Copies of this chain bind each other. A is one copy, B any other.
Amino acid sequence: MTARHEEIADELRRAIDREEYTVGSRLPSEAELAAHYGVSRGTVRQAVAALTAEGLIGSRQGARRVVLASRRSQSFAELRSFAQWARAMGREATGSVVAQGYQPARAEDAVRLHLPEGTPVLHVLRVRGLDGEPVLLERTVYADWISPAVEAIEPDCASVTQRLYDETGLVFAYGEHVIDAVAAGAQDAELLDIRRTSPLLRVRRVTTTREGRPVEWSDDRYRSDAVSFSVHNSIDNNALARKTAE
């Protein structure tokens, strides 16, 4: 039972995807869409606002909306879960824990997870692969209150996110990602089966629950020949920010 405006947004997304509206062409006016779907203009506006935020269409006062891109971006579900992402692409995700153990939270951990310094937190080092080939090294720190559930998961579980949801009902709802590049160290090189000093795409992220409570933070290193990230944005909607090294 999704909301009407989401149904309409989905229909428009699909129409753009199958090039019913081609890149560069104009969308029908709000009034036309409202009449077509039998809803008020406000509901149509909610639908097109979603597509605008995704960068699929552009909007200017007075002019009809323009289609900017046709490739639909992934759902957040696919972003937050390696396994779901792989499945959506028709590839098989693998994963295995290389090392795991409790350590008292350092200042860094305490800040990111909103915990008192010294709280025992679970560190996990995981290698993840697509169709058998390793592409990602995850160094993750879990908050104390979720650590027991994580510890109980078998080392080669393909989808930790899914498992945590099934076991505890935990949903990852918000994330902040900081992206830069690093050279592969000795451990990185060995586990990812690449040469030392190869460039890696590093994503440091913090994930939180719907209530805003931090669950985990992670240093993810991707083989740059296998994975990249993309961001759509606009003059009103800027999820991406550039930062200098501190």
Contact = CB atoms under 8 A, between A and B. Distances in A.
Interface of A: 23-24, 53-55, 58, 60, 63, 66-69, 73-79, 85, 89, 91, 114, 130, 171-183, 197-202, 208, 210-213, 222, 224-245
Contact of A210 (B58, B130, B228): B58
What 4 pairs across the A-B complex have the smallest Cβ distances?
Answer: A239-B239, A181-B181, A180-B228, A66-B212
A74 B177 contact: no
A213 B68 CA distance: 9
Copies in the complex: 2
Nearest to A213: B24
A212 B24 contact: yes
Contact of A229 (B76, B178, B237, B245): B178
Contacts of A79: 233, 238, 240-242
B227 A244 contact: yes
A134 to B, nearest CB: 14
A10 B147 CA distance: 38
A238 B226 CA distance: 21
Given A174-B234, A229-B240, A232-B239, 9 more contacts: A53-B53, A55-B176, A58-B173, A60-B210, A69-B176, A76-B238, A79-B242, A180-B227, A181-B181
- Among A54, A210, A239, A244, chain B packs the most CB atoms within 10 A around the CB of A239
| Max chain B C-beta neighbours (<10 A), residue from A58, A68, A75, A212 | A212
A232 B171 CA distance: 17
